[in-house]
């Protein structure tokens, strides 16, 4: 099950080509060799091929995509190796909301190998965010965060040029992202804010491990 959830587009295309040639072989066998190929087998191959086409030419580019968690920055919500489904169209109709778990392209200042990051949206445009002794304050009010791992952990000191210092007012068209594992998360405290154009989608469902399958909050 895990290997199926993690199949890349290259493997899917390879399987699609195999299905196409298998279907073609059944057709040629029936046409030129006069054999009675199993019609059910041909229909099954056609159905599988259509399913791959729909998933990877329509669903994956425009609707949903799976994402593998590369680090422990979102513990306990997400663990290393977990696979999630990302809704890629929801923000075309509604703006992101505080508390959303968001997958986005890594900021240039992050200096990380991962092409994409996953963090939780904490600071909205115009918010004033402060962090004192592990507690997040938004517009001077403490933010209730039941999802945070070790809520009283001290936030890491920013060590990259361009990192922000609290209290901080989030500018227009920017988002402040934090990991749920505040003690071990390189996030907006270190590499700054996220522009809307970098956002890829909202994490909505945990796919793997199957024992933890469910909606993400």
**Strands 101-105, 199-208: parallel, antiparallel or unpaired by DSSP?**
antiparallel
Q: Is residue 94 classed as helix, strand or coil in its secondary structure?
A: coil
Cβ atoms of 189 and 163 closer than 8 Å: yes
Q: Which neighbouring-strand residues pair with 109?
A: none
114-147: b or e for each residue (b if 16 or more CB lie within 10 Å)? eebbbbbbbbbbebebebeeeebbbeeeebebee
Contacts made by residues 19-22, CB under 8 angstroms, sequence distance 24+: 19/45, 19/48, 19/49, 19/52, 20/49
Catalytic choice (88, 119, 202, 206): 119
CA distances from 107 to 110, 176, 195, 215 (A): 5, 12, 9, 27
Q: Is residue 128 classed as helix, strand or coil in its secondary structure?
A: strand
What DSSP string runs through 41-84? HHHHHHHHHHHHHHIIIIIIIIIEEEEE--SSTTTTTS-TT-EE
Catalytic choice (8, 47, 60, 73): 73
Q: Is 119 a catalytic residue?
A: yes
Q: Is 144 a catalytic residue?
A: no
Active-site positions read 73, 119
């Amino acid at each position: 099950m895990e290997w199926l959830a993690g199949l890349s587009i290259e493997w899917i295309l390879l399987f699609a080509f195999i299905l196409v040639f298998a279907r073609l072989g059944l057709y040629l066998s029936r046409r030129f060799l006069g054999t009675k190929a199993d019609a059910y087998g041909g229909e099954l191959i056609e159905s599988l091929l259509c399913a791959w086409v729909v998933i990877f030419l329509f669903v994956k580019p425009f609707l949903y995509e799976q994402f593998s968690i590369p680090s422990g920055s979102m513990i306990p919500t997400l663990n290393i190796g977990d696979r999630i489904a990302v809704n890629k169209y929801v923000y075309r109709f509604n703006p992101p909301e505080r508390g959303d778990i968001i997958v986005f392209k890594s900021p240039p200042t992050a200096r990380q190998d991962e092409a994409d990051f996953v963090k939780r949206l904490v600071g909205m445009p115009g918010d004033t965010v402060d962090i004192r002794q592990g507690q997040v304050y938004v517009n001077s009010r403490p933010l209730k965060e039941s999802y945070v791992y070790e809520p009283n952990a001290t936030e890491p000191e920013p060590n990259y040029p361009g990192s922000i210092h609290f209290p901080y007012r989030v500018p227009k068209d920017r988002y402040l992202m934090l990991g749920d594992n505040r003690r071990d998360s390189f996030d907006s405290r270190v590499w700054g804010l996220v522009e809307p154009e970098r956002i890829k989608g909202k994490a909505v469902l945990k796919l793997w491990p199957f024992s933890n399958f469910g909606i993400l909050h």
